[in-house]
Amino acid sequence: LPYVPRVPPAALLGKVTATTFALERPCCVFDRHASAADTVWLAVAFANVSATFRNPPSRADVPPYKQLPTTHSYMTLETAAAAYTCPAPSPAVLRVGGDTACKDQGRQDPCNGPLPSPGPYRVKFLLMGCHGPKAETRWSDPILLRRALSPSTINPVPTRRGSDVVVIASLLASLGTVLATAVLGALGAKVWGSLCQRDLGTSAFARRSYWTHHIPPALPQPPPPGC
In this structure, is residue 185 part of a structural domain?
no
- Is the pLDDT confidence value at 209 over 50? no
Q: How many domains does the chain have?
A: 1
**pLDDT by residue (tens digit) across 70-100?**
999 999 999 999 999 887 655 678 999 998 8
Note whether residue 51 is domain-resident.
yes
pLDDT interval class at 123 (50, 70, 90):
very high
Residues paired with 16 in a beta bridge? 21
Q: Would you say residue 60 lies in a domain?
A: yes
CA distance 195 to 25: 85
Is 75 domain-assigned? yes
40-54, 67-81, 152-166, 184-198, range with the lowest pLDDT: 152-166
- pLDDT score recorded for residue 115: 94
Domain region containing 25: 21-149
User: Per the domain annotation, does 134 fall within a domain?
Assistant: yes
Q: With 80 as the cut, is the pLDDT of residue 184 above it?
A: no
Of the candidates 11, 14, 29, the residue with the CA atom closest to the CA atom of residue 126: 29
206 phi and psi, to 5 degrees? -70, -35
> Could you please report the per-residue DSSP string of 7-73?
--SS--TTSB-SS-EEEE--TTSSTTT--TT-EEEEEEEEGGGGGG----SSGGGPPPGGGHHHHSE
Each residue of 166-180: pLDDT tens digit? 567 666 767 767 676
